[in-house]
Structure 1
């Protein structure tokens, strides 16, 4: 049990993932978090930002263009995997019993984003924890045209990766002292993540009460 707990702690520790797993671990985490429903808890935003910072500081010994392309492909292919699973197994997923790795509220919350923003959800969701994981699944579930999906999937993935990895790289190159504040960066992203999740919860609760 302790080994399992340590493993999950490792998966949510971006700094350790980057330092010990390198590019392969980053790519694998991004792929899973972007389209497999059980990967919603994995670090996304701050993993990308810190990978850019570490690359800029040459602590992650990978060319920035290789990093950008690899993470972009992982994000796009991960979302496509989510789309395919939603397209063919979406109904089974909706009827799936809740467990530690699956909550129907995540599906319902993503569905509301689609109702409000349509296909643009695939771009907006890139910056929204949990929704980022379930958006491509929902796109497949509602049978979004695959060409339309690819356009928004690629555009959203490109913006997400350029902003976070590119931004992190810029800070790493021009403000090397940022390495002393890595834990504060993680806390910053965690606060934003928590705020987004809490806000989404209360918004959903308010909508449900209005429908009654």
Structure 2
């Protein structure tokens, strides 16, 4: 297998995970750790599989091909470390990313993530875990925006645990349901929307009451 074939398999590992397990055995844990770390830690790799990978990995946990507890511990660690590295890079580069053009950086995605972050504050780090692309840029923007390291890590750990455990266990228990397996990203976005919309409505209601009171 040449490098391009291997890289193509990585890009579609959520669809070829069974082949990876058959070929690499226990090294699959290292491969999955590396993919999650890179997807969350390197802003040049937001196209790597995330939600679908965790869900499909959960289905293989149900068959006994992967240990669910070991997998969750490793992937939670990878997600936390990835976000931390991304945050450090954002802190080091600072606000220069908005003033200069970098060939390796999608500035439009960065601006959208920054706008989302400004509206929703620290909980963005948690919610962003479930939104492709935003998931990769959110910790970077947190670093650029001077979010304190302590606050960042609190939301970072909470988000990593919820993201990994929820999706792996969803795959473990619900992986045999075709509509969930085939439309996972849509299901995840609906779930995030269900969590975010009540918060936005509550904030809007408070703002409305404050305005009418004055």
**TM-score between both structures, scaled by the size of structure 2:** 0.75
Deviation, 1:3, is 6.0
* Deviation of the 1:11 alpha carbon: 2.2
**How far does residue 185 in structure 1 lie from its aligned partner after superposition?**
5.4
Instruction: Look up the match of 1:199.
Output: none
Give the RMSD, CA atoms, in angstroms.
2.6
Gapped regions of structure 2 (runs ≥ 5) = 191-214
Equivalence for 1:15: 15
Select the residue among 66, 86, 101 that pairs with 1:82. 86
Residue 167 of structure 1, CA deviation:
1.3
Tell me, what secondary structure is at the counterpart of 2:183?
A: helix
Instruction: Report SS of the residue matched to 1:169.
Output: helix
8 Å CA contact 1:87–1:140 kept in 2: the answer is: yes
Of residues 186, 189, 192, the one that matches 2:184 is: 189
One of 98, 105, 124 as aligned partner of 1:121:
124
CA distance in structure 2 between the partners assigned to 1:185 and 1:12 by the alignment: 21
Distance 1:53 1:108, change over 3 A: same
Structure-2 change in CA distance of 1:3 and 1:27 (3 Å)? closer
CA separation in 1, counterparts of 2:184 and 2:11? Answer: 13
Name the stretch that deviates more: 184-193 or 159-168: 184-193
Displacement after TM superposition at 1:78 (Å):
0.4
Using the TM superposition, give the Cα deviation of residue 70 of structure 1 relative to its aligned residue in structure 2, in angstroms. 0.5
Q: What does the per-residue CA deviation read over 1:96-145, in whole Å, with 9 as the maximum and x for residues that have no partner? A: 5354x531011001101111100110011000000000000001111111
Counterpart of 2:144 in structure 1 is 141
Pairwise CA distance, 1:19: 3.5
Matched, 1:53 2:59: yes
**CA distance in 1 between partners of 2:9 and 2:144 (Å):** 32
2:130/2:189 contact within 8 Å kept: no
May I ask how many residue pairs the two structures share in their alignment? 182
**Partner secondary structure for residue 42 of structure 1:** coil
Shift of 1:89: 1.7
Matched residues in 2 for 1:192 and 1:167: separation? 11
| Unmatched 5+ stretches in structure 1 | 173-177, 196-212
User: Normalising by the residue count of structure 1, what TM-score does the alignment of the two structures yield?
Assistant: 0.76
